[in-house]
Amino acid sequence: MRELLFLGLFMAALAIGWYLGRREAIKVRFLVEPHGSAIDRHYFIGLNYLLNEQPDEAIETFIRALEVNPETVETHIAIGRLFCQRGDVERAIKVHQNLLARPNLTREQGDRVQYELARDYLTVGMYPRAERLLDELISNQSPMRADALVDLVRIHERERDWEQAVEVGEKLVTERPAFAATLAHYHCERALTAQRKRDWQQAITHLGSALGANRANVRAILMLAELEEQQGNHRECVKWLNQLAETDPDFVPQALPLARRCADNGALNLSGYLDKVIGQARSSPIATVMERADEIKKHSGTAPASRYMVAHLQAEPSLRGLIYLMDLHENAVEPKGRENLLALRGVIEALISDAHQYRCQACGFSTRQLHWQCPTCHGWSTIRPLKGHKAI
């Protein structure tokens, strides 16, 4: 079915291109007569191949029949793109290389063809060739500059060359401001490299650049909080924890171990911090709620913690929250009832053992652990914690 669709689109493109090429050729007296020409013969030979289920021979015949001139360049580009989408990248490269060698292309057409050829090279992993073509488009201030920057920055991303990715990304963000969210992650990757070398100051500098690109980058805030805590700067760590709560409370569970350590050394009032986080969110992650219940239990006992948890579960049901509530009452139940309670707990645990806690907002990929870049669609900052009725 896909093959028939491809051939149908291909035939339509070639028919239009053939007509335009024929008209142009008549204009410049390439054809003495409008009928019975070599183009007609090639066209009907191609149709014969197609009817005999020989699509490759038909395509080659049609390409030979289609005169290359300024009016048919777009058709040739479309043919090359169809080849590439079909998986025949070698033939797409030949079509675009043949076009690029033509001296009668306008600058805009030449840039279009060069860009398509670069994308062909990208498809087959020929990064150096693609990079050279894209660099030319960028340095020549081509109308394709923004698209070329997008593809070039992806090359550096795939090669994990974060320094070059940042350099190209800073150019791209002037053309497409929304790219700032991705650029911030490139700075975070540079910070990770500095951390591995134990160059803490350089890591902090890169994270500052990340927040300069995108103030809402949760990853940079979390990394700064951890770095400050490692350096013994507990007050600075608390500052970043508060920044995280204001920026995106849904990610506070990622920082709960850090918050506990700050509370243990007296730098943070954990109960007050959790109340602030829960109070400013319409729907809080269950991990944050359970942490607050733990604080209530520690300071006021099991009964107030249980009431707090029940109230939350009535508003936002959660199996993880239900297990927490069972654990609170485990010792208060008679032996026989306790046995039944533990059996029920085991069933619920089995239900949630493989449950996903995060989902990509772009492609729907689900996972049990947080990824800053989606493994499926490769988007940055697209994976978020599940909460409310979607969460377990």
pTM of the model: 0.78
Of the ranges 175-179, 347-351, 356-360, 364-368, which one carries the lowest mean pLDDT score?
347-351
The average confidence (pLDDT) of the chain is: 83
Q: How many CB atoms lie within 10 A of CB 187?
A: 25
- Can you list the domains of the chain with their CATH numbers? 285-351 (no CATH), 354-392 (2.20.28)
pLDDT in tens, 231-257: 999 999 999 999 999 999 999 999 999
Strand arrangement of the beta sheet that strand 366-367 belongs to: 366-367, 358-360, 383-385
CA distance 99 to 367: 45
Asked whether residue 39 carries a pLDDT value surpassing 50, the answer given is: no
Query: What pLDDT does 116 receive?
Result: 86
Q: DSSP string spanning 242-290?
A: HHHHHH-GGGGGGGHHHHHHHHHTTS--HHHHHHHHHHT-SS--HHHHH
Per residue in 82-133, pLDDT (tens digit) is 777 777 778 788 877 777 777 777 888 888 888 888 988 988 889 999 999 9
In angstroms, the Cα distances linking 168 to 35, 146, 149, 150, 151 are 53, 11, 7, 9, 10
The string of pLDDT tens digits covering residues 287-296 is 999 999 999 9
- In 126-255, beta strands by DSSP E: none
Amino acid at site 296: I
CA–CA separation, 308 and 66 (whole Å): 75
- In this prediction, residue 44 has a pLDDT band, given cuts at 50, 70 and 90, of very low
Calpha distance 289→298 (Å, rounded): 14
